[in-house]
Amino acid sequence: MLNPIVKNRSYLMAYLMVLFFVVAVQTVVLNYYQDLDVLASLTDALVFNLMMAIIGFVLWYVLRFNLKEKTELFDLVVNHALVAILSVTIWLGGGYFIMQTIENNNTEYLDFLQASLPWRGIIGSFYYLVFVLLYYIMMYYEDLQHKMKAEAELSRLVREAELNALKSQINPHFLFNSLNSISSLTMTDPDKAQEMVIKLSDFMRYALSHDRHETTLLRNELENAERYLDIEKVRFGKRLKYNAIIPPACLDAQIPNLILQPLLENAIKHGVHNSTEEVLIELRCEPNNDFIELHIINDFDPEATRPKGEGIGLRNIRQRLQLLYHRNDLLEIKLGKIEFEVILRIPRQRIG
């Protein structure tokens, strides 16, 4: 795993800028307050601070792959104390040896170097604490990001599984009805049965090809709805009449895929099934700034037995809308004296 200082370009730039700033300040302090010459001051600042920068860089791996795993507070404190002593010793010893070699003829500097070791030890310990604090904050932030990413991915998988479960309930529901109808037509009208098998094949091909995508254009859904109605017209003949009023502004709107078919299936079930007369099913789209509103209206015989509650199709659509848009007010049902209307509101905003 890369050190976050080099993994993130802004962190690396900040790290180098802080190093440059500390070297500049230390050079000025040594030259102005300790009366050391400029070259010796600059060399001292560069050597000790570069060594501390390298030790601080390596310290990340010690914390990440060793000390972070310590769960006992006592063990953690003892290990940090040992690492701090080792780090400061290496820093002081290495810096002392290098500067003594470079400035071996500068007696004034060597006297200062010898005298400054105690406060350099204090500064080295301070640097260690700063690095540890900084790295723990980075590790906490990194772990938090990983957890949030994992939770988001888990949430997406759960939602996807729920949506697939809902859609898998819709398709077999329609498929079973269609197969029953084909079975009946096989005996009474083999030609219509064959026609229905072909149309059912086209419909299922569309359903399977769009199963991986959560939304599609309304124009695609309308084409699929007409495939479905062609199948049902084979069953119901002239009793089923369909009229669509779709302004061009609606055609390119994104809507959940396979959402119109169960609504039309519901309209046929509660309108055409219970009537011996022609039943009109109307699909109308009304766009506005926030939604496109889809109205599915069907006539029904008021004397016939009225359906009780919502079927699987409507219930699944309500749940799909809740999962996709996080709203429970996007499906409305109106029951009139001779009309049954379902209003589907599709937000224009992107799916969250």
pLDDT digits (tens, 9 = 90+) for 236-248: 888 888 999 999 9
Does the pLDDT value for residue 69 go beyond 70? no
Task: Please tell me which residue, 187 or 332, carries the higher pLDDT value.
Answer: 332
Task: Please tell me which residue, 167 or 223, carries the higher pLDDT value.
Answer: 223
Interstrand relation of 279-287 and 331-335 (parallel, antiparallel or unpaired):
unpaired
pTM here?
0.54
C-beta of residue 176 within 8 angstroms of C-beta of residue 267: no
C-beta of residue 263 within 8 angstroms of C-beta of residue 296: yes
Give mean pLDDT, residues 147-162.
77
Sign of torsion over alpha carbons 42, 44, 45, 51: positive
**Torsion (CA) 202, 203, 206, 210 in degrees, nearest 10:** -160
Coil vs helix vs strand at 290: coil
State the pLDDT confidence band at 323, using cuts at 50, 70 and 90: confident
C-beta of residue 296 within 8 angstroms of C-beta of residue 341: yes
Sign of torsion over alpha carbons 269, 271, 273, 279: negative
- Angle (CA) 275-278-283 rounded to 5° is 105
Give mean pLDDT, residues 159-167.
66
The segment with the largest mean pLDDT, out of 143-147, 181-185, 340-344, is 340-344
Sign of torsion over alpha carbons 168, 171, 177, 178: negative
Task: Please tell me which residue, 188 or 135, carries the higher pLDDT value.
Answer: 135
pLDDT digits (tens, 9 = 90+) for 25-60: 999 999 998 889 999 999 999 999 999 999 999 988
Does the pLDDT value for residue 350 go beyond 60? no
Task: Please tell me which residue, 276 or 17, carries the higher pLDDT value.
Answer: 17
Predicted local confidence at residue 173, as pLDDT: 64
pLDDT digits (tens, 9 = 90+) for 262-315: 888 888 887 877 777 888 899 999 988 888 999 999 887 777 665 555 566 788
| Phi and psi angles of residue 258, each rounded to the nearest 5 degrees, phi first | 55, 35
End-to-end CA distance of the chain: 32
For the chain, helix, strand, coil in percent to 5 are: 70, 10, 20
